[in-house]
Structure 1
């Protein structure tokens, strides 16, 4: 295959049944899109490299790429995947994967080949024709025709163009300049051939295309290991941005990396819920299942702080004035009820705290924070059908008193101790 003879990474293990197999060369595969890619390459060589230029500081306007350039990237990515043993899914299975992972529905009647997934705003369906920079643009393109996905890359970022197309080398013998919008001066643009790290950039880009597609569509464990070491933002975004929790190993990895941060408190909540593009709430049931396995008695690891993180998030999220992404009050109560229900179970688990159970008083905190309207929502929805919720809610009346007196009113001290449960119960007998 002419366009791929010069790839820095032409050899990748695909794992599984191919262990011990010679790493595959993709140099001899024929590609009917060669002229297509050559045309895109000529344009990009004439424009010069996008590297080493501070476009904002230099006053250079960003250049949109064309659909034909994106098509050239897709052709290259498809051949890369085929050469590495990628198993292309059927149309229905592929469409279902895209829906489950990214929350996007592929319209079978659409004539567009590509679907844009925006990592800054998952609900924004506007087609972005700019190279990712992590600040203004961050997204990927789903190729509905080839049933793969990829970022947009410039052709020199994927292939060794100087070896594959030697007749084009003369293009880079001429200076490339662009006008600054700040002072109308000419800014010299470096050629792609002048980028010292270009080989490493190519290698990373190729590995990223192969690893992402083979992990998500072929469940390739080897590629998963590479991704959590080399593509961590993407992997975390699958869970936190798009609410993809079906892969238990990935979900566990994200949970263990996510701590409550008072400067970014909303980030912790992304483990538990997401607001879908139709405005509905999606609770992540799998998060609670994974947490139950992670939070164990006498655990010396960082997991021992899980209930502390939950308590901190509860205190943050219970304040409805935090303007949390415009969710309804009913959704807010539902989220809190489910999170607290998970945490409260440890109060009754005698494996914890020398046989006396956890003492975080989660349900008592919830009682303290909810106003009467929110309590009514809880009761109207039958405590969201959580089996022991009402029992635990009723049992937490003393915890409500204790939390208010000692933690939020600040009236507890050496000379002012709250009543113990026996004393308090005499004054507040259960109905």
Structure 2
């Protein structure tokens, strides 16, 4: 009995140690980051800037403090060291510049004297430097040239434990007034950094975000991918939907599978398929179609637990929105519009001819027929003049869809009902020859 008890205790002890080891392993990055933040080295430039930032408190609509390139310049050595301490391997200028072009479609001008490039996540074509910490109305990142990393504009209190390393500045903050007078002489409340709830947790999240983004994008560290999708989804979505970065197949698949067609925001679904670039051209995402083909397989239509079975319905909803004659996509030419529609419809129409699917020729989506219904003659001419954009079977499927266009016409014009039913394909064909 004693032997059994002893063996049980040893087993429990071993299990506890194993669990602790696994937990420690999963928190390895967290521990590293926390230790590197504990007591940063004193720096006079940091001290001077920190006092200014502490004096005015947290940025807000009423906050008079104007952040500038000086605020960012002071933080970059700290951020660079944090990256290096946590495994970031600096890449060459050429490789970094190529990555920035590939991911964000921005070119780093070697002749520019500016130390930073601003990438605006709200208006990607706005290249003006925006020195204000991100909030609900402002979101962007800075490319730090020559040091070759990206970062948000972080106020110093959000990346360093200033109360430990900068005691004098912290003491001045303790004595600071919580009010100030604005330009009109009105007394306004200000929010001191020391009173910020969860500031320690915010620092940790900021540093983890900095490290994960740079390791993932510039060191191809896939271990950071899961953390980013769980904790930095806005950034990861924007890479695909705002900037058109589709080279990372895992990321693109993740974005595709969590994007549904929503009538309240129909244009969002189109971001999976194309992006308008800042030079006015349109780029279609070939990789999206490859992933969709892998997702929408014969077994999916009967899998009631898989939301991807609605893929064709989502595409139908987007086509109806985008092809609407009254719909004007800002800056998109009619030729671009037709090209986008042709590529999306071409992808969806293949399933009409794929006998592995239950629907087969009875497919109700009638994508090509809908396209024939929506396009006006000028747009049909664009399609033909561009040789159907060199999509191999497009003309054949277009010609075959004349009856589907007839069905779509009646559907959209509300003609079909219990009394007025459409002609059968054979009946309709007797009256109409293929064109």
TM-score (norm 1): 0.89
Alignment of 1:222-371 (within 5 A): 222-299=223-300, 300=303, 301-353=306-358, 355-356=360-361, 358-371=363-376
1:396 and 1:189 map into 2 onto residues whose CA distance is 66
Of 41, 49, 61, which aligns to 2:58? Answer: 49
Q: SS where residue 258 of structure 1 aligns?
A: coil
Give the secondary-structure state (helix, strand or coil) at the position aligned to 1:379: helix
User: Are 2:147 and 1:146 aligned?
Assistant: yes
Aligned to 1:185: 186
Contact 1:349 1:357 in 2 (8 A): no
- Once the 2 structures are TM-superposed, how far is the Cα of residue 71 of structure 1 from its aligned partner? 1.1
1:9-88 alignment, distance < 5 Å: 23=32, 25-26=35-36, 34-50=43-59, 55-56=60-61, 60-61=62-63, 63-88=65-90
Which position in structure 1 is the counterpart of 2:17? none
TM (norm. structure 2) is: 0.88
- In the TM superposition, 1:152-167 aligns within 5 A as 152-167=153-168
Query: 1:307: Cα distance to partner?
Result: 0.6
2:200 corresponds to: 199
Q: Which has the higher mean CA deviation after the structures are superposed, 104-113 or 166-175?
A: 166-175
Shift of 1:339: 0.4
How far off is 1:21 after superposition?
A: 13
| TM-aligned CA distance change 1:363 to 1:89, over 3 Å | same
Using a 3 Å threshold, how does the CA distance of structure 1 residues 189 and 240 change in structure 2: closer, same or farther?
Answer: same
Partner of 1:99: 101
Q: 1:27 to 1:211 in 2, by over 3 A?
A: closer
After superposition, the C-alpha distances for 1:273-320 in whole angstroms (9 at most, x for unaligned) are: 111000011111111111111112232211011110100110110024
The aligned counterpart of 1:121 is 123
Counterparts in 2 of 1:78 and 1:428: CA distance versus 1, 3 Å: same
TM-superposed deviation, 1:356? 4.3
Shift of 1:22: 8.7
5+ residue gaps, structure 2, are 1-23
Q: For residues 129 and 25 of structure 2, what CA distance do their matches in structure 1 show?
A: 32
Instruction: Provide the secondary structure at the position in 1 that maps to 2:189.
Output: strand
Cα distance in 2 for partners of 1:216, 1:28 equals 27
Q: Contact (CA 8 Å) 2:352, 2:360: kept in 1 or not?
A: no
Answer yes or no: is the 8 Å Cα contact 2:353–2:360 preserved in 1: no
Task: In structure 1, list runs of 5 or more residues that go unmatched.
Answer: 1-12
Change (3 A) 1:355 1:315: closer
Equivalent position of 1:213 in the other structure: 214
8 Å contact 1:63–1:130 — kept in the other structure? no
Residue aligned with 1:274, SS: strand
- Whether contact under 8 Å (2:37, 2:161) holds in the other structure is no
Seen in structure 2, the aligned counterparts of structure 1 residues 27 and 303 have a Cα distance that, compared at 3 Å, is: closer
Kept in 1, the 8 Å contact 2:351–2:360? The answer is no
Select the structure of larger CA radius of gyration.
2
| Deviation for aligned residue 1:180 | 4.5
Residue of structure 2 in register with 1:419 after alignment = 423
The total of aligned residue pairs comes to: 406
Q: For the structure 1 residues 62 and 321, does the alpha-carbon distance in structure 2 shift closer, same or farther, using more than 3 Å as the test?
A: farther
Contact 1:340 1:366 survives alignment (8 Å): yes
RMSD: 2.4
Contact 1:251/1:287 (8 A) holds in 2 = yes
Larger RCO: 1 or 2 (CA < 8 Å, sep 6+): 1
Q: Which structure is higher in helix share?
A: 2
CA distance in 1, matches of 2:117, 2:199: 28
Cα contact 1:47–1:176 (8 A) shared by 2:
no
- C-alpha separation in 2, matches of 1:201 and 1:289: 39
1:19 CA drift (Å): 8.4
